[in-house]
């Protein structure tokens, strides 16, 4: 196993874990504030598609974090063919 693989894996897991803690905090914050909304405003916001938009935004962040982690673990130079 290459020597640089273990630190890269550790850094990736720590970074991913930190981002996921932040995203979970943000989700809980949003849910808490949605629960405090008047019901008429909440229904209007949901009918406008805000729930779907939040889902798309969160999945985009998770995808970005995952791709950043995979790029840290890549063994070939970007754009190269391994030479």
Tell me what pLDDT residue 33 has: 84
Is residue 6 in some structural domain?
A: no
Helices (H), the chain: 5-35, 39-47, 50-73
Question: 């673990």: which residue's tokens?
Answer: 73
Q: What is the pLDDT of residues 7-66, one digit of tens each?
A: 656 666 666 777 778 878 888 888 888 888 898 888 898 899 988 998 898 888 878 877
Is residue 3 in some structural domain?
A: no
User: What is the domain range of residue 51?
Assistant: 12-72
Extract long-range pairs of 62-65: CB within 8 Å, 24+ residues apart. 62/20, 62/23, 65/15, 65/16, 65/19, 65/20
Is residue 66 in some structural domain?
A: yes
User: Lowest mean pLDDT: which of 3-7, 31-35, 68-72, 77-81?
Assistant: 77-81
The total domain count for the chain is 1
Tell me what pLDDT residue 75 has: 55
């Amino acid at each position: 196993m290459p020597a640089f693989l273990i630190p890269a894996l550790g850094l990736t897991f720590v970074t991913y874990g930190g981002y996921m803690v932040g995203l979970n905090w943000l989700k809980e914050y949003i849910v808490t504030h949605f629960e405090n909304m008047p019901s008429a405003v909440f229904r209007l916001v949901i009918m406008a598609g805000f729930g779907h938009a939040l889902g798309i935004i969160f999945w985009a962040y998770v995808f970005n974090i995952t791709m950043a982690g995979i790029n840290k673990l890549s063994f070939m130079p970007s754009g190269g063919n391994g030479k």
